[in-house]
Amino acid sequence: MDDPRRLLDAATRLREDMVDRLGTLVASESAPGSLPHLESCADLLARWGEEALGRPARRVVIDGLPHLLWQAASQRVLLLGHFDTVFPVDTIRSRPFTVRKDVATGPGVCDMKGGIVQMFTALRLVEDTSAVGVLLTCDEESGSVTSRPLIEREARRSGAVLVCEAATPDGHVKVARKGGSVYRLTVRGRAAHAGVEPRRGVNATVEVAHQVLTLGTLGAADSGGTSVTPTLLSAGTTTNTVPERASLAVDVRAWTRDELERVDHAIRGLVPFLPEATLTVQGGINRYPMSPELARPLLELAQSIARQLGIPDVVGAHAAGASDGNFTAALGVPTLDGLGAVGGGAHAADEYVCVDRMPERAALLAGLVGALSTMERSGPRPIDDIP
């Protein structure tokens, strides 16, 4: 950077513009799987991205879902994010975008629409974006089922990946993340009249209760270790019928690949407790952990840029939640996460962003992109023909 202070000054002048854009983006709801809303939000972001990068987005539609991709011919850095949120359509009516003092609230403001606004602002501050790729997906909150091949393909073409998910509430970036698995256990029993002859039945609710207790033994004793959490549960049809079927979803998080595989083996080895009950297991490991070793050089570069900008020191944090950065790190591509907005309360009614910190985060990202864009790499990776 020739004059980092000038970069921060430029970002500070764009503060109000960032707040206005954040309000516009939050108002453009993007609930999981709601195609009309995802399409409308994608239209908005495609315009902003073309303005910032000077080239149009490629809309990659997979199973009807619109992902936005700006490829670079010789891609030294990939900026990665998602524009879907966890909130159902019309949440904005009960919780509209609001700014009080330096805090903005609204559905998706932190996870991760604030990061997207900062991303495009940062790109407007970078002189040459010809080596910068951007990928915004729309199914991260539902597991990145359709976008994962796209994410991995673009990561392999890149020298580094910068993930614009939210920072911690203290502004720390994320150098490591837990990996995650998702399972669905389905129990089959036998229906019977609950009052007349309950013993003729095989109670799927009782069976799934035994499985919940077994799952509780698979996690770590301490709160920071491996978690095995039963979540969604359904069973039965009427109050006077022995349930014939039950279904249980299970969320698993762990810091190491070995732990994910240990729990995976244990869950696949579960057996029924009740005679004549059957148990099937679907699902598996979704994201392997993100290792801090891959992030270390990028963290050191970010710390150097922060010092030049005169902003708070950049600290690397370990995050329990997973992101699409888990996919890119698993490929061995240097990945630094948590470069988005400073805030908290993701997925909750009190989700928030500190708007006064948006300029410094945009300047930091711009400095990182500028530095990585000019670094030499071992030959360009060609643009693949992505369907």
The number of C-alpha atoms within 13 Å of 22 and in the hemisphere containing its C-beta is 34
Q: Is 129 helix (H, G, I), strand (E, B) or coil?
A: coil
* Residue 319 and residue 179 in contact, taking contact as beta carbons nearer than 8 Å: no
List the chain domain ranges: 4-177+289-373, 179-286
Fold of 179-286: Alpha-Beta Plaits (3.30.70)
* Residue 381 and residue 134 in contact, taking contact as beta carbons nearer than 8 Å: no
Task: Please tell me the pTM assigned to this model.
Answer: 0.89
- Could you read off the pLDDT tens digit of each residue along the chain, which spans 387 residues? 457 789 999 999 999 999 999 999 999 999 999 999 999 999 999 999 999 999 999 999 999 999 999 999 999 999 999 999 999 999 999 999 999 999 999 999 999 999 999 999 999 999 999 999 999 999 999 989 999 999 999 999 999 999 999 999 999 999 999 999 999 999 999 999 999 999 999 999 999 999 999 999 999 766 679 999 999 999 999 999 999 999 999 999 999 999 999 999 999 999 999 999 999 999 999 999 999 999 999 999 999 999 999 999 999 999 988 999 999 999 999 999 999 999 999 999 999 999 999 999 999 999 999 999 987 654 434 434 333
Q: Domain 4-177+289-373 class?
A: alpha beta
Q: Give 87's contacts (C-beta < 8 A, 6+ positions apart).
A: 29, 31, 107, 108
Q: What distance in Å separates the CA atoms of residue 45 and residue 42, rounded to the nearest whole number?
A: 5
- Retrieve residue 320's tokens: 């329990």
